[in-house]
């Protein structure tokens, strides 16, 4: 066995080379510039071994293939030329993998993203597991970039230009069955037989070429391609308002490759990558990525979290139903919902059923997994089943006396260690805890709507909240798949505090005679997803009038 720091080559008795990827000291595999020499050394050994029948690339990590390239490499580039050179080096390495004289198979389990998928695309075939952790995508656009190691050229030729544009322009991630349907992978197998299935595929002397669907073949022709790119440019411009140069360059580069050939496409890809890396948009998006990554590592406090084995929720409305879903279906925790009537409980259960059924219909999960997750959620119109809950989240109306009553009821009906978390959007947590017997176990946990889509959640301790309560609440938010930020118990907390001046200025402009549509259009053009007046309307004027006095 020949060993390198991140890649291990093992030639099996059946003359199939298995290259295991395991970046030392890291939870996930990421591609770094210094790995190029290691990979080339392995490729040289493979080329020189004339007895080899095939090659399999597989991860030695538990639940990760390759999460992408190390973004820090881009930050080290001083100018566009250096970033372009980085892209060309990646392109060359992928070309060497593709040029191997024997079948090369990517055996994928877990995340296969960015540079990881570009490496898989350079392989001759791809096979992946049916695990929910297996996702494939090119998310570079979310960093203001485009795939720089050949992804813009190989993906359209593999899955068709329409599918490729959709994936690259949105950063969409495909699950195993979706990837199989799209033609991105050639087979989906259980994780237990992934390696052997890949080895068997590698032994095949001739690998049949996949035929694109009729629709993609039509769009690949000059006329179909011209119509498609015209439509895509129009729709993309409407969405981005010209604020995201990466989307325009992605379209240009893919079109260049299809119209002028791969060589021109790779050249355009590298140049665009270098130029985009230096744009303020990419620099800002990468800064957000790094900041978000650091926030996700923050435990909230130095204390150890308390027990977190089950959760209670008060209120089965829109917020309560959403919180129940992320707690049970993402966090894997049993949830008990209390509402004043069975209609509220049924609403919350249907909320989760609808979300899960959509996943089943899209083949993200199996029906058995839907039933298993739904079984974690139960409800009642009283506090039966609440005595052992470690944390209870209230999602009732924005009414201080009502929330104080909820605190008293939870303290009376739940365990002595139970944490009370309020989903208030505006009421001071200190006021909610004012009459509590155990104020140190009262905290704010503010979700945003729709709960299943919005990644941010505010964790709001008041003056007497204990460090353990903070740590436990942050732990719950992370289990729910959220990005928690610990904020002060001040007017508006964080989000509404910075949103208020924005809304106030829009209202001031209204009073000065500006038209609603002009105000909203200007802010959408600037880059906001919706205008301030439309946002206020969607939140509800009644809700706004309750929040404004607090702010």
Residues known to be catalytic? 458
The helix or strand, by DSSP H or E, that contains position 305, with its residue range, turns out to be: none
Nearest to 127 by CA among 187, 175, 61: 187
Could you tell me if 113 and 68 are in contact, meaning their C-beta atoms sit under 8 angstroms apart? yes
CA proximity to 129, closest of 198, 182, 60: 198
Reported as type and span, the H/E element at residue 49 is none
- Report the chain's C-alpha Rg in angstroms: 26
As given in the structure block, the two tokens for residue 153 are: 């050229």
3 state SS of 18: strand
Distance CA 403, CA 56 (A): 59
Alpha helices per DSSP H over 221-279 = 222-240, 245-260, 262-277
303-306's contacts with Cβ under 8 Å and 24+ in sequence apart are: 303/466, 303/467, 303/468, 303/470, 303/471, 304/468, 304/471, 305/468, 305/471, 305/472, 305/474, 305/475, 306/390, 306/417, 306/419, 306/468, 306/469, 306/471, 306/472
Q: Which residues pair with 377 in a beta bridge?
A: 335
130 Rama sector, left if φ>0, alpha if ψ -120 to 50, beta otherwise: alpha
Among candidates 482, 120, 100, which has minimal Cα distance to 296? 482
The pair phi, psi for residue 128, each rounded to 5°, is: -135, 165
């Amino acid at each position: 066995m020949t060993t390198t720091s991140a890649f291990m080559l093992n030639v099996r008795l059946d003359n199939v080379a298995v290259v295991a990827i395991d970046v030392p000291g890291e939870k996930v595999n990421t591609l770094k510039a210094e790995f190029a020499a290691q990979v080339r050394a392995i490729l040289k050994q493979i080329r020189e071994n004339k007895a080899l029948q095939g090659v399999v690339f597989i991860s030695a990590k538990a639940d990760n293939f390759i999460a992408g390239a190390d973004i820090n490499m881009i930050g080290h580039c001083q100018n566009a030329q250096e970033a372009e050179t980085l892209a060309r080096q990646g392109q060359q390495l992928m070309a060497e993998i593709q040029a191997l004289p024997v079948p090369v198979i990517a055996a994928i389990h877990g995340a296969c993203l960015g540079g990881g998928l570009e490496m898989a695309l350079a392989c001759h075939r791809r096979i992946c597991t049916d695990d929910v952790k297996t996702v494939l995508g090119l998310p570079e656009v979310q960093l203001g970039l485009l795939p720089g190691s050949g992804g813009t050229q190989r993906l359209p030729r593999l899955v068709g230009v329409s599918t490729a544009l959709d994936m690259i322009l949105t950063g969409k991630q495909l699950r195993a069955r979706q990837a199989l349907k799209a033609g991105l992978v050639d087979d989906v197998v259980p994780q237990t037989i992934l390696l052997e299935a890949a080895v068997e595929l590698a032994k095949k002397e001739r690998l049949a070429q996949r035929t694109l669907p009729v629709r993609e073949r039509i769009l690949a022709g000059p006329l179909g391609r011209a119509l498609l790119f015209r439509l895509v440019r129009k729709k993309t411009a409407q969405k981005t308002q010209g604020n995201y140069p990466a989307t325009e360059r992605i379209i240009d580069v893919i079109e260049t490759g299809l119209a002028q050939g791969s060589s021109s496409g790779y050249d355009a890809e590298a140049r665009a990558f270098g130029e985009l890396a230096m744009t303020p948009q990419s620099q800002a998006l990468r800064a957000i990525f790094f900041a978000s990554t650091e926030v996700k590592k923050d435990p909230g406090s130095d204390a150890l979290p308390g027990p977190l084995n089950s959760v209670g929720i008060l209120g089965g409305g829109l917020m309560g139903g959403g919180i129940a879903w992320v707690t049970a279906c993402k966090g894997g925790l049993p949830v008990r919902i209390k509402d004043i009537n069975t209609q509220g409980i049924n609403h919350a259960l249907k909320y989760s059923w609808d979300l899960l059924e959509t996943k089943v219909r899209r083949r993200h999960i199996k029906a058995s997994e839907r039933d298993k997750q739904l079984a974690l959620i139960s409800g009642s119109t009283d506090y039966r089943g609440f005595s052992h809950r470690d944390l209870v989240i209230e999602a009732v109306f924005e009414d201080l006396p009502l929330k104080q009553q909820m605190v008293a009821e939870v303290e009376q009906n739940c365990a002595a260690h139970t944490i009370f978390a309020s989903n208030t959007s505006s009421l001071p947590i200190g006021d909610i805890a004012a009459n509590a017997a155990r104020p140190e176990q009262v905290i704010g946990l503010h979700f945003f709507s729709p709960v299943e889509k919005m990644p941010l959640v505010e964790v709001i301790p008041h003056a007497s909240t204990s460090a353990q309560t903070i740590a436990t609440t942050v732990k719950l938010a992370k289990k729910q798949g959220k990005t928690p930020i610990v904020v002060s118990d001040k007017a508006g907390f964080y989000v509404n505090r910075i949103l208020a001046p924005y809304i106030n200025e829009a209202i001031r402009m209204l009073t000065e005679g500006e038209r609603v549509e002009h105000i909203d259009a200007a802010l959408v053009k600037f880059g906001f997803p919706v205008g301030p007046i439309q946002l206020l309307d969607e939140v509800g004027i009644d809700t706004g009038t309750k929040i404004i006095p607090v702010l």
